[in-house]
A and B are shown apart, each in its own frame.
Chain A
Amino acid sequence: MARIDLVDLAHSYNGTDPESYALKPVTMTWRQGGAYALLGPSGCGKTTLLNLISGIVTPSRGKILFDGVDITPLSTQKRNIAQVFQFPVIYDTMTVGQNLAFPLKNRGVPRSEIDARVAEIARLLDLTPYLGRKATRLTADAKQKISLGRGLVRSDVAAVLFDEPLTVIDPELKWQLRSKLKALHRDLDLTMIYVTHDQTEALTFADTVVVMHDGRVVQSGTPAELFDKPAHTFVGYFIGSPGMNIVPAEVRGREARIDGHTIMLERGYDHLPAGAKIEIGVRPEFVEVASPAPGLLSANIERIDDLGRIQFARVRVGDVKFAAKVPAGFSSPSGAAGLRFDPAHVHVYADSRLVEGVA
């Protein structure tokens, strides 16, 4: 159990050119006992970050501190960390119980303690009936449960790292296992770091979601923060379904102009960086289609997606595409519509980064 600090940590698999870094320099702190998710598309550096923490990969630069102690030069074995991989790793010749006991046995934990701990983890993961069976006789998801169990069996670990552990699991079981992990997190008071490219997984598992893009940490915050105030346009469209509308605009003071139409903003933006690419971002949930009217941004509806609970219209304004909420009872046979924005939720981005307005 430990607080983990990453200090100017970066890694490159080839060369020293900072642009080729698989993980660009990052400084952040992981709280003891927190449930974190590292979220990002494939190849964004999240697995690299995880492997740096566990010591499978040695960083090209920077330091990793566990409770203030620099552990960067230590090997994986000495780091006291547990990691669960994407595909189940099972020791074929051992029974389920021996598999679970393996990490403890290797560390010379007394027999009685091992038995107690294995029994507890098996109970938490519903593996008790299988303890005496050969691990190779089980299905992929049972095997992955064993892998999870081996990750959780040591009570003294600084953190448990999960590298997309539910990839091989059926969707139905995914929910179960995820809530199980969440429950285990509460019961065992372990720091957990969970890598995934699935936003639902990240948002349901973690207290703090760290979004990565192109080797960089672009935002770290609670699911609500990521939703309400994306710090980067990437976070805006990666999180949420459909993603945030991000459209080029001219912003002056409290006004944004799109396609010759002016939208009022809640905050003022008088000091935007010169020469930067200015965009506004607004989630489809905060744009509403209405009948065309003066004062609304006029648009053409291309199609309407019915998500069951809610309907989203795909509309076009000039060359720009929007997704917008469709209020109950709305219909527009001609396809012509007006867009109404919720000014409180319209954000301004300069070169993809959020600009804080002045109230």
Chain B
Amino acid sequence: MAKVFVGMSGGVDSSVAAMLLVQQGYDVTGVYMKNWSRDLPGMKCPWAEDLADAKRVAVKLGIPFEVWDFEDAYREKVVEYMLAEFKKGNTPNPDIMCNQEIKFKLFFEKALEKGADFIATGHYARVIPFSQTSSCPPVVTGGTSSKLPVGRNVCENGISLARATDENKDQTYFLYRISKEALKHTLFPIGEMLKPDVKKLAAEHGLHNAYKKESMGVCFVGEVGMKDFLKEYIDIKPGEIREIESEKVLGYHEGAIFYTIGQRHGLYLSGVAGEKNDGMPYYVVDKDLEKNIVYVSKNLNHAAIWTKELELTDIMLRDEIPEKISVRLRHRAPLVPATFDGTKVIFENEIKRPASGQSVVFYDGEICLGGGIIK
């Protein structure tokens, strides 16, 4: 009987994942990963509820349950990375980092140490074997383009990371950086299910968290927004908001670091904006971290907003890159056609420029080919 350690967050997805594994006859152990506890003085810690939910489900399923503490690693690899990136003016994605560094690294490694054959999570994604993918490239030893790194996961392991059946919930955007070694030992039990069916199944089997409110956004930021979270670590530094075309001061902000290119909410604009207030919103189009100035524009055609290409760094390729790919610029954003030359993604049509630090994820059909981080 194959031994599986399933990451249980207390949510319905990972609960149903664990249940399915039990039904499929695996030797299942539930694990709650304690990643971040923001125990402020006098505050009731929020993770205790999630832990209790996860444990209650494990007991219901009759499986052993453990709590693995990755708090220190999480602080170092995810939170500090995130703060450092923001300080550089980037807008990082901590969930992608959490998957790469914690769930599919430390959790995976510890599970292997404990004799696991597989790890499992409640992510909406699939691992599909080589033979099932018609688009799978043939086994070759060199790239078709000399710029392409050779990293043919398909050929080495015979598996690929594939988009979830529920296109609405697909989470491969957050998973493109996880190691190939980990993926080889990963099960995504709900990857072929639709979310409503997952909930229904949970309810049918009496899992108490079937209708639990879904956690949204970054796990550890919790109910406060990212800006409020950052404010606890980065001091407020008031600065000017200027219109990029006129250089006119339109208002003030609490620190350029807190703003992201493309953002249009949370700008403190003064009455000046009203002078020619045509009801059009201002967008952040640029920021000067050194002078602490945020530049905005209401011109949606402003050159800073649109781009035809994006230069990437920290590229992680899972598969051979075909001539034409589709890419995703945000979780759940529509796929857009593009090509990749080894460092740059070139889009067929102009796109709204995402913030630096965000990820671009490549797809060939249902296969997630990898991706990179916007410079």
Chains A and B belong together in one complex: no
Contact surface of A with B, Cβ cutoff 8 Å: none
